[in-house]
Amino acid sequence: MNVTAPSRTISAAQKVEHFDVLIVGAGISGVGSAYHLTKQMPGTSFVILEEQETFGGTWWTHKYPGIRSDSDLHTFGYSFKPWVGPPIATAEEILSYMGEVIEENDLAGHIRYNHHISHASWSSETNLWTVDAVDKVTGEARRFTANFLWMCQGYYRHSQGYTPEWKDMARYKGQIVHPQTWPKDLVTEGKKIVVIGSGATAATLIPNIAGKCEHVTMLQRSPTYFRTGRNAIEIAEELRRLQIKEEWIHEIVRRKILFEQDWFTKRCFSDPEAVKKDLIGAVRAVLPEGFDVDQHFTPSYLPWRQRIAFVPDADLFEAVKSGKASVVTDHIDRFTEKGILLKSGQELEADIIVTATGFHLSALGDVAFEIDGKPLDFAETVTYRGMMFTGVPNMVWAFGYFRASWTLRTDLSAEFVCRLLAHMKKKGVKRVVPALRKQDDNMPLHSWIDPEDFNPGYMLRGSHLWPKRGDKPEWRHTQDYWAEKDEIPAIDLEDSAFVYG
């Protein structure tokens, strides 16, 4: 559905609704943040504005076959809600879990679905955010004011995935599909399919259509790292046999996984060649003897410089082993009427081409922001710990981790927001604005994410849209949950980085 931006003029008859806090997005971040707000700041009025027709975010908008988490649900799930299923979960299972959180905590009445936000403006005169939206069902303009704005909408454009422009795409007679906008009526049975890409989406999709379609080929420019193993956690199974409470199991398993992730991440940087050997060795062990693992599953970069997807029960490699799927590592020269011509001269024929080629990054949900009538360019701001931005009052962005589960950081940021709101109430102030301190004079500024540390293509393509980072802990978003779990709760809210008014 095409949404026309509402007029900024609200008639006198239209009601302007006011809330203490306005949360943008009812995905995994927004629902979790709302929970923390109700528990830590009872009595706070709030609303959640959601673009889609229901909750879930990514887990609702993505419809491709087999969509599942690539993080374990013991850590991707909320700290406050035990996860009782397999560690790698389907979108349907995650949505069910989120639905239980909404029902158990009476959050449904706070969510407004089908609300497209076009504009958000801050007034220093009133110390309020004014948010303009349109009800996508009725087409009516809606206006909200809020003391505090909590952006939980994610970091990519939900309406459209990223597909590169290859030569002669218009010549191709088949169907081109992006997983982010998978057609409901797409028939894959009996079809020859090429999936362009080698990330978590491709690794999920391919084993789910292999054997149903005539054949599926994963076409990649370069290989990706994967981890394999059972979709089960032995200690959780054992504790359930002992009839231990699920709350205890959740916490024990969560701590165990986090300990192991910390060890693995540190080893990726202290001894990357050994980790590389282990990861590739595990893949080699499940593929047929003589398979060219060096070409197809040996990345050129070091482990954890891009996200590592978990492949439960090695299903991707089993599909390759069975001959139902194959892997081609090459570059695209151009599209043909029948498929794709590669630089090597090989032509891959396909009835359907799936472009599992990533996201369009979105700076704060593509909302037009203003501060006191002046358009806000987030690329001119500096991030405060990846949560707030210099010169932007009363706003926090919930942004998770790439190397650890996303939700670990959104839980931390929710606790920070609640502590900040309580601190402001105690001080009797109406606004807080992050600002560089005297000791930050002449601090070098860089892109949001250090490309030497983490460098997936979708991040590098859109990093110019995002706030800058400094070289001090306060002014950057790290990927280190194991440090931030102690640092963020210990943030000194009276630090001169916070300017109250």
pLDDT in tens, the chain (501 residues): 344 444 455 554 568 999 999 999 999 999 999 999 999 999 999 999 999 999 999 999 999 999 999 889 999 999 999 999 999 999 999 999 999 999 999 999 999 999 999 999 999 999 999 999 999 999 999 999 999 999 999 877 777 788 889 999 999 999 999 999 999 999 999 999 999 999 889 999 999 999 999 999 999 999 999 999 999 999 999 999 999 999 999 999 999 999 999 999 999 999 999 999 999 999 999 999 999 999 999 999 899 888 888 999 999 999 999 999 999 999 999 999 999 999 999 999 999 999 998 877 777 888 999 999 999 999 999 999 999 999 999 999 998 888 889 999 999 999 999 999 999 999 999 999 999 999 999 999 998 877 776 656 666 666 777 899 999 999 998 888 999 999 999 999 999 999 999
- The single-letter DSSP state of residue 488 is T
CA nearest neighbour of 157 among 361, 356, 406: 361
Q: Is 326 exposed, middle or buried (0-12, 13-18, 19+ CB in 10 A)?
A: middle
CA distance 210 to 208: 6
Q: What is the pLDDT of residue 422?
A: 98
Question: CB neighbours (10 Å) of residue 244?
Answer: 13
Mind spelling out the 3-state secondary structure of 47-63?
Answer: EEECCCCCCCCHHHHCC
Pairing of strands 141-151, 128-135: antiparallel
Yes or no: say if 343 and 329 are a contact pair by the CB < 8 Å rule: no
Decide: 149 and 22 in contact? Cβ < 8 Å. Answer: yes
HSE of 465, CA atoms in CB hemisphere, 13 A: 15
* 237/290 Cα distance (integer angstroms): 36
In single-letter form, the type of residue at position 17 comes to E
User: Token digits for 122?
Assistant: 């801050």
What's the token pair of residue 187? 């028939």
Q: Which residues contact 96 (CB under 8 A, 6 or more apart)?
A: none
Answer for the pair 61, 158: CB distance below 8 angstroms, yes or no: yes
DSSP, collapsed to helix, strand or coil, labels residue 21 as strand
Looking at residue 415, what is its pLDDT?
97
Sequence-distant (6+) residues with CB within 8 A of 267 are 274, 275
Nearest Cα to 311, choosing from 234, 232, 226?
226
**Burial of residue 342, with CB atoms counted within 10 A of its CB: 0-12 exposed, 13-18 middle, 19 or more buried:** middle
Helix (H/G/I), strand (E/B), else coil: 492: coil
> Under a CB-based contact definition with an 8 Å cutoff, are residues 57 and 48 in contact?
no
* Whole-number Cα distances in Å, 7 to 133, 138, 141, 393: 9, 14, 7, 25
Q: What is the DSSP letter of 15?
A: P
Interatomic CA distance for residues 496 and 476, integer angstroms: 17
Distance CA 28, CA 498 (A): 28
